[in-house]
Chains A and B, each alone.
Chain A
Amino acid sequence: MSALLDLQVTVLASGDGAPLWILAAGPAGALGTYWAIYRYYRNNDKSHAYERDTLIDAKPVQGHEEKVDHISRTRDSDIDGDNSAKYRERVRRLR
């Protein structure tokens, strides 16, 4: 696998024809197939979506925001460690 990676880097640098990394399609496809079927049979990733399936009555969301910095040039297309949609990932408790 590391030999393949070395080769891949060489080809990417040369820039001729189709990139060799499409050879990763085979292993990636095999792994993806394995996990898709395994999950379909074992359902080990499922749980009750209580955030959605509970009767919740919420008041309007309060809050504010304050500009503190500016990034003038980055190759990152999004923020590091976005967890805004990972509702169950706990962060530091404020108190």
Chain B
Amino acid sequence: MAQDDQHTDAPAAEPRKPVFDGPPLSLEEELAAARAEPEPGPTIETVNESLADGVNRCPKCGSTDVQLRASSGMLVCLFCRHQWQEERVEEELGLGVGIDELEGTVVASGAGEIDEGADDIVTLTCGGCGAEVVVDTAHAMNARCHWCRHTLNVNKRTPNGAVPDAVLPFKLTRDEAVEKIREFAGKRRLFAHPRFRKEFVPENVLGVYLPYLVVDARAEASYSGVGEVQTRRWTEKSGDNTVTYYAADVYRVDRSVSFTVDDLTMEGAADRAQFDSSTTNNIVNTILPFDTKNAVRWNASYLVGFTSEKRDLDVGDLSPKLEDQLLSIGRSQVHGSLDRFDRGVRWEGEQVDVGGSRWVSMYLPVWIYSYYQENTKMLHYIAVNARTGETMGSVPVSQWRLIAAALTVGTFLEGIAGAILVGTA
């Protein structure tokens, strides 16, 4: 039992102090935190591990009662305790190499077009007892036989594109995720909505594999616009005031850059791919990137104890988004070549030629604590990257408390301004 700590239903062993009890942080503390620069994201160590051959059953005893041990990222056989890991797709599929020679659109088999007509319901024959078990692949990619509890793996490439090429196993345990979420909310106590404070139970966190398309691409981006270089600066007197004037040379500017990107990661579910003010989808987007180099060949055993979401966006749907992101990347690449234009550059036209791209579909692991705010009908998340531990969230605020604080600060500043005016009048 100690082996699969992330799957137990019992709450964390030692009871910890509830986040929203005790003395609140002072306004100054929270203000300082709110104004501070965001902390830099964690760096990713892409460690090269030697991997065992992947098989769907326990390679030692043949049992299908296999689970992921998050602490080690290994699959563990619950019958004989043997541990192993699937092959990294990086080497197996030859990803990460030859990006500068990519031609056309290369799509890994698991990233193929989703067949809308194909049924989500797959019937599997249990290898343990022979019973026919139905798995709804729209909601789960694995199931247990309810007769003999053998794990049924949807390992075959089903024709509807439901099975990804690769999976990045959970690494952070459930307890570690709870701690991250507790810490994130704990720094946001003063203005949290009272109902959120009352109902905050970080132990309700869920481990979810979310679908992504991971892209290698080769591209050339070009930009044209106008840049200005200051040639002179002087002041003139105008009544009691001095006015600063400038003279400048105007240039027509062109830039282009060829580059490759390795493992650009895009949401594969339409529900999560739209970022606007009516959703909190940007929260899960912000905890990217993942150490996708360590993703291993798909094996449904990795999903035991977690939920998963099905991909519904195809390569064709995401190609415009890829071009958009490549244009942004190219812009950031040429930025350093604009130093001489000290009055700035205004880009007016741009284009990108994608020489080649390679698409792999991947399940990436996220711990999600969700909270539905009834009065605004908004779903809030605190999401933890289950590889790097990067945490981001949306905490519903108490509007009246926030306005009261803003007015307090405003009144204080106004008092100072008034005093200065009176003092100098």
Residue ranges of A at the interface with B (Cβ–Cβ < 8 Å): 15, 17-18, 20, 22-23, 25-31, 33-34, 36-44, 46-48, 50-85, 87-88, 90-95
- Residues of B219-238 at the interface with A, using a CB-CB cut-off of 8 Å, are 222, 224-228, 231
Within the assembled complex, what's the spacing in Å between the Cα atoms of A63 and B251?
13
Interface status of B33 (Cβ within 8 A of chain A): yes
Whether A94 touches B251, Cβ cut-off 8 Å, given contacts A54-B262, A55-B263, is no
CB of B153 within 8 A of chain A?
no
A contact patch SS: mixed
In whole angstroms, what is the CA distance A77 to B263 when docked? 41
Cβ–Cβ contact A53 & B41, under 8 A: yes
Q: How far is the CA of A45 from the CA of B108 in the complex (A)?
A: 33
Q: Which residues between 308 and 356 of chain B lie within 8 Å of chain A, taking CB atoms?
A: 324-325, 327-329, 331-338, 341, 343-351
Residues of B398-423 at the interface with A, using a CB-CB cut-off of 8 Å, are 402-403, 405-407, 409-414, 416-418, 420-421, 423
Q: Give residues of chain B (347-371) contacting chain A, Cβ–Cβ below 8 Å.
A: 347-351
A-B contact pairs, 22 of them (CB 8 A): A17-B425, A18-B424, A26-B414, A29-B412, A30-B413, A31-B410, A34-B405, A41-B188, A41-B192, A42-B396, A47-B286, A48-B288, A58-B257, A61-B333, A61-B334, A63-B334, A65-B252, A79-B343, A87-B335, A88-B324, A94-B224, A94-B349
Write the chain B residue with the least CB distance to A76. Answer: B246
> Once the chains are docked, how many angstroms separate the CA of A15 from the CA of B424?
12
B244 A65 Cβ-Cβ under 8 A: no
Q: Choose from B31, B333, B334, B410 the contact partner of A27 (Cβ within 8 Å).
A: B410
B307 contacts the other chain (CB 8 A) = no
Instruction: Describe B's contact surface by its main secondary structure.
Output: mixed
CA distance A46 to B277 in the complex (A): 12
Min distance, Cβ A79 to any Cβ of chain B, angstroms: 4
State whether the Cβ of B191 lies closer than 8 Å to any Cβ in chain A. Answer: yes
Interface residue B285 (Cβ < 8 Å from any Cβ of A): yes
Which 7 pairs between the two chains have the least Cβ-Cβ distance? A30-B410, A26-B414, A82-B344, A40-B34, A55-B262, A69-B250, A63-B255
Known contacts A23-B418, A23-B421, A65-B254; decide if A79 and B283 are in contact (CB<8 Å).
no
Pairwise interchain contact A56-B247, C-beta atoms closer than 8 A: no
Find out whether the CB atom of B226 lies under 8 angstroms from the CB atom of A63. no
Q: Within the complex, which residue of B228, B259, B413, B416 is in contact with A79, where a contact is CB–CB below 8 Å?
A: B228
Instruction: Judge if B90 is at the interface, Cβ distance under 8 Å.
Output: no
A44–B245 touching, CB < 8 Å? no
Give bound CA distance, A19 to B226, whole Å: 38
* Distance (whole angstroms) from the CB of B318 to the closest CB of chain A: 13
By the criterion CB–CB under 8 Å, are B286 and A46 in contact?
yes
The reply to whether A82 and B345 contact each other, CB–CB distance below 8 Å, is yes
Tell me if B114 counts as interface (CB < 8 A to partner A).
no
Chain A residues in 8 Å Cβ range of B334: 61, 63
Question: Does residue B107 face the partner (Cβ distance < 8 Å to A)?
Answer: no
> Is B258 part of the binding interface, using a Cβ–Cβ cutoff of 8 Å?
yes
In the bound complex, how far is the Cα of B263 from the Cα of A40, in angstroms?
A: 30
User: Is B289 in contact with chain A by the CB < 8 A criterion?
Assistant: yes
Q: Are A26 and B253 in contact (CB under 8 A)?
A: no
Q: CA–CA, A20 to B34, complex, Å?
A: 30
Given that A57-B260, A65-B252 are contacting pairs, would A36 and B332 also be in contact in the complex, using a CB cutoff of 8 Å?
no
Give the residues in chain B near A74, CB-CB below 8 Å.
245-248
With both beta carbons as reference points, the residue of chain A lying nearest to B401 in the complex is identified as: A37
